[in-house]
Structure 1
Amino acid sequence: MLNTWRLQLLVQFETLGTMHRVGEVMYISTATVSQQLSILEKETNTRLFEKVGRRVQLTHAGRTLAKQVRPVLNQLEQIEIALNDTSDIIQGTVRIASFSSALRSIVIPVVSQLVKQFPRLQIRLTELEPDKSLPALDSHQFDLAVVAYFEKPQILKQNDRSLVELGSDRLMVLVGEENPLVQQSAVCITELSEETWVMEPDATYLSEYTQNLCSNAGFQPHVLNVFQSYSAIQTAVANNLAIGILPKLAVTEQAEGVHLLDLQPESTRHIYLVARKPQASNRSIQVVMEAIKAQASLVFADG
């Protein structure tokens, strides 16, 4: 019989892409990961990995085995949860990854309520960009992920994920009081070609999306200021140093002197709560999911 731990390492490799990352997630050395996966190749009498340049990647047989094994491991996890989940008490640890604006307006208020209501429940929060949250969820680093996408990507819809759409918001243009655009209620992306911009760093999904919007409109934005903090972006706009674009959810506490204009054409961001299906059957996680859904309905109703 195949060793389930080695199969889990294989699935982790398919998700994370390197043995180093698998070792970090599983709290073992890279050498141990490599050794155990070599043993798995011998057990299966199949070449599961191949070198491409300096990188090691799965062969077709390796990818096929990982896809076949993933639902089996999920079933085993579900059985383990059912065996351990025999108490009526809501307890244990729930790990949540969320992007910044949802963390502030949805997740943190929920956690504040739940830890008072259920003293034996511990909730760990991590601020994480959506493109990093899903691999971390799939590799069992988190139990829940709150993510956002401007389209509805098929990447979210996998058989081993439970998916709930929490709501949607849209991109807004932020201008200061001295900007002539302040007289408008909406602005077309092409009207911003001569403006000075403030944005998040290039690696972030919002910055990349905004850069693509500008590129598709036929110009490259003149980005003079780069900040990681949404509040810093608003402060720069309020002081008439630049314009910015942020999702409406990110502007829950609008800085004085900042005016919000509708962006045309409209860009809508969809926000999801994602869990691995085996974990979604855990009662503590169910309680957290229901609370997040309830809070999100309030937040988006107000918006």
Structure 2
Amino acid sequence: MTDEPTVLTATGLGKRYRRLWALRGCSLAVPAGRVVALVGPNGAGKSTLLNLLTGLLTPTEGQLRVFGQPPGRPATLARVAFVAQDRPLFDGFTVADMLRFGRHLNPRWDPGLAEERLAALDIPLNRKVGKLSGGQQAQVALTVALGKRPDLLLLDEPLSNLDPLARHDLMRSLMAAVAEVGLTVVLSSHIVADLENTCDWLVVLNRGRVQVSGDLEDLLTSHRVLTGPVELADRLPADVALIEDSRTDRQANLLVRNGSAPILDHRWSNRPASLEELVLAYLRRPEAAALPRPALTGA
């Protein structure tokens, strides 16, 4: 739970396509100014959640608020930018055409920011979008979104189909923009390693439900990896939650969520969990949840 002002809140949020629930019973609250890693396997509901936040979809049940208002209202849309997974650019347009297109659609458009950003990336304005590399196209799509001067930026798998260098360059330029403008970002990605040094809030979606939602540092601090004799695995303190349990005949490797009592047995090797270890452990156990649902989402 956090005292920071929230950008988006969801309470009991659900979205159904005919008989299939893409999201069900989702509750979360995301503070302003955070860079949010939205993580989950294919079909977990990540794209559905992002489309709900933009107002492109309407909830089947529950409540969703962006800046305190239902998504899709004109005042809300003016403050939100969305880059979909397929990067909606027009191959026949030049880069300059894309900037003119952004200016006509967005009353808060900042031409100086967009042109300076592309110049810094050495992307020529007279080049047709279809002739750019995948990394350059991703940067143009991000530039059009940032030129809108949004308060909330939603990115659906922006790193997909990019080579490692292009992924690094995109994330570096994104973080520079976040530091300069101070916006909130929700970033959906399968590539957990690219998120560890850029995101400070984590949301894990699994089978259409929120498993984890919280400050990344707090989550990593509260989860430990224990390695020790297998006979110790069944003697954990009562308030320590076992998230993942891997054993051989002699050794146990556990990922646990700390309770109030420290684990004092010196026979355990005890270290903090990495982001990838934490995410994978929860994805392997869809029934597990890291934290109680935030009280803010019940408002």
TM-score, with length taken from structure 2: 0.25
TM-score, with length taken from structure 1: 0.25
Larger Rg: 1
Q: Which has the higher strand share?
A: 2
